[in-house]
Amino acid sequence: MELYFASAEQTAYLETLSDQGVTHICISYYEWIRRHDTDRLPSGFQIALIPGVSKKEGLDWTEFAKGFIDFTEKNNEQCSLIFDIDAPECPQRVRRDVRNHLDSLPNTVMFPAENETLEELSGHFERIGVNSRLAKSMTPNELRRVRATLYGSNVLDLKILRTGRFAATTTMAWLSPRRYGELWVYSGAKLWHHKAERLQRAVRGHRATIEMLGFDPEKCAANDRDELTGLAIRSMLAMADSFSKRPRDREAPDVSAPESQSEGEPPETEQGVITALFSAESTPKRSTSLLPVISMKEEMGNLKAVSTGDSMRRCDTCNLSGSCPGFESGATCKFSFPVEIATRAQWQAASQVLLETQFDRAMFSHFSDQVDGGMPSKSTGVEIDRFFKTLTAVKELEHIDPPHSEQGAISKALHALEASSGHEEIVLEEDYEEATIEAEYADDGFARWEEDAAAEGRTQE
């Protein structure tokens, strides 16, 4: 994944990024024309050009759009990405005009306008933009279903980036240490964010990681803004590198129009073809079948449901695609988990495996705390509590008569419930809510820096 560092239109910030080895920068057109006399962008960088007016009010949108279109046409060969206007205040007619012009340029990222969904937009454009607010409002399944390449705007949440398989994103979070004295450090496959009031304690906890990244913990604890900024940049680069082995763009669905049309078919337009592909009339009728993970078997005149051990998982949509050693694009899952639980011995063995697995999770979480300097995390307590809940449930199940051996997986479960209905009621506890140990991502709040960036720039000058 490519990470573009924002606010590079300011000379001092650009020099800082260059000193830390950053090659991908994000430049705001609005701030660039306010600070520079030239319309030529800096060389030697991969550049994401954005309008930079998401929070601006009182603009002459028609004039701004005209200037932005002219600027992108002059610099499109130098830009790796060009972002569409993503501003609710911008009139829809202006947004449509900008979109029509940008559509002819390479590497254009389109953002949904009013009442547009990502799925609708992906039927027309190859690259779709997602801002932080929209990304947080969508479920993982909604992000996975988008049949286009996703590009984030101020999206730095690792869970969102992994779920949606983003090809790139921009961030202003690297400015947080310079402006507010906060600590950002990439450790244990997580990007940690600590407020300034917890700085010294956080530095003690991440001391080994800070030194490994090449920075001085003592300077960081003393609120050295340059040291904290360099650490944040290096940490975010390490985070972006962790995505390097993940699959990138997915193939877009084939929505090409048929060569010929017969009477009564929809017109040969892109929208018409998409409608035809998913209309009830054009969908062929098929016979239904059991899910491949379950089969029905008849024994002694009784039907029983049994697990086949097969899987519907596909590498391209799997959450482990970025780290799985068996990943192969377009393939089914390489691994299977055949299970048979028909006797008391098998039941007890399966329970033992679950207990050992949960205990391993608790101990690994404890180990992660130690590696990170001994700072306690919420997840360790959650995993320990979950282990004892699992242990209690297994002990209670041992007092229930075992299901008959000739029954299948589903039948066994139903028999156990039926057998217990006349005895002491079994109350299934609600799932313990997963606690997060991800960083307190502030990407939404960093949008405000765009407004006062000019003020700080004048102060520095």
Domains defined for the chain, CATH in brackets: 2-250+441-460 (3.20.20), 288-340 (no CATH), 343-437 (no CATH)
* Residue type, position 229, single letter: T
Cα dist from 332 to 163, 314, 328, whole Å: 19, 4, 8
Higher pLDDT, 321 or 168: 168
Collapsing DSSP to helix, strand or coil, 91 comes out as: coil
- State residue 274's pLDDT score: 42
Collapsing DSSP to helix, strand or coil, 227 comes out as: helix
Residue 428 has pLDDT above 70, yes or no: no
* Residue type, position 141, single letter: N
Of 104-108, 119-123, 260-264, minimum mean pLDDT range: 260-264
- Taking only the tens place, the pLDDT of each residue in 291-315 is 666 666 666 666 666 666 566 777 7
Neighbours of 115 (CB within 10 A): 7
- State residue 434's pLDDT score: 31
Mean pLDDT of the 407-421 span: 48
Mean pLDDT of the 25-49 span: 91
pLDDT confidence band for 410 (50 / 70 / 90): very low
- Taking only the tens place, the pLDDT of each residue in 326-339 is 777 778 788 776 66
- Taking only the tens place, the pLDDT of each residue in 270-281 is 444 444 444 445
* Side-chain half-sphere exposure of 337, counting CA atoms within 13 A: 5
Of 80-84, 170-174, 249-253, 328-332, minimum mean pLDDT range: 249-253
What share of the chain in percent tops pLDDT 70?
A: 67
Cα dist from 45 to 17, 41, 108, 354, whole Å: 11, 9, 18, 51
Mean pLDDT of the 448-460 span: 46
Question: Residue 440 has which token pair?
Answer: 């307190």
Handedness of CA 241, 246, 251, 252 (dihedral sign): negative
Of 203-212, 258-267, 309-318, minimum mean pLDDT range: 258-267
What distance separates the 2 farthest-apart alpha carbons in the chain? 88
Mean pLDDT of the 374-403 span: 76
Neighbours of 378 (CB within 10 A): 12
Mean pLDDT of the 353-359 span: 86
pLDDT, mean over the chain: 75
Nearest to 96 by CA among 114, 120, 78: 114
Cα distance between residue 352 and residue 257, in whole Å? 56
Residue 365 has pLDDT above 50, yes or no: yes
Nearest to 148 by CA among 166, 168, 162, 163: 166
Beta bridge pairs of residue 48: 26, 81
Cα distance between residue 41 and residue 74, in whole Å? 10
- State residue 47's pLDDT score: 94
pLDDT confidence band for 177 (50 / 70 / 90): very high
- State residue 17's pLDDT score: 93
- State residue 278's pLDDT score: 44
Mean pLDDT of the 224-245 span: 88
Nearest to 378 by CA among 389, 365, 390, 391: 365
Cα distance between residue 31 and residue 51, in whole Å? 9
- Taking only the tens place, the pLDDT of each residue in 1-28 is 899 999 999 999 999 999 999 999 999 9
Three-state secondary structure readout of 301-346:
CEEEEEECCCCCCEHHHCCCCCCCCCCCCCCECCCCCCCCCCCHHH
- State residue 136's pLDDT score: 85
pLDDT confidence band for 216 (50 / 70 / 90): very high
Cα dist from 413 to 308, 409, 420, whole Å: 17, 7, 11
Handedness of CA 17, 21, 26, 31 (dihedral sign): positive
